[in-house]
Amino acid sequence: MLTSLAICVPAGKYGAEQFVILRSQFGTNGSRLVYFLAVIFLTMGWLAVLAMMFGRSIDGMTALVSGTEASPTGIKMVIAALGRFS
């Protein structure tokens, strides 16, 4: 929490990038590590959300075509969501 406050206030006040301000706390290589981890975790989370949306849309389309009821947490959604990553 203290790290985020120490970064957000100067970023808003001086208009500098957050990862440039991180250099004063973590050094050059430390700020690269923080940036790398943030990109990895944020990207993985967003890709999981997109995979769930894709799986639910495939489940809905197959239910519409086959005349059955869609199951947003069913096996078709899981297979379509996991198949998107492979």
Percent of the chain at pLDDT above 70? Answer: 93
Question: What digits encode the pLDDT tens for the residues 3-22?
Answer: 677 778 888 888 888 778 87
With 60 as the cut, is the pLDDT of residue 59 above it?
yes
Cα–Cα distance list, 12 to 51, 53, 56 (Å): 34, 34, 39
Q: Are 83 and 67 in contact (CB under 8 A)?
A: no
Greatest extent of the chain over all pairs of C-alpha atoms, in Å: 60
Q: Is 7 exposed, middle or buried (0-12, 13-18, 19+ CB in 10 A)?
A: buried
Question: What digits encode the pLDDT tens for the residues 30-57?
Answer: 888 888 888 888 888 888 888 888 888 8
Q: What is the pTM of this model?
A: 0.54
| Domain assignments of the chain as residue spans, ordered by start | 2-85
Name the band, by pLDDT with cuts 50, 70 and 90, for residue 23: confident
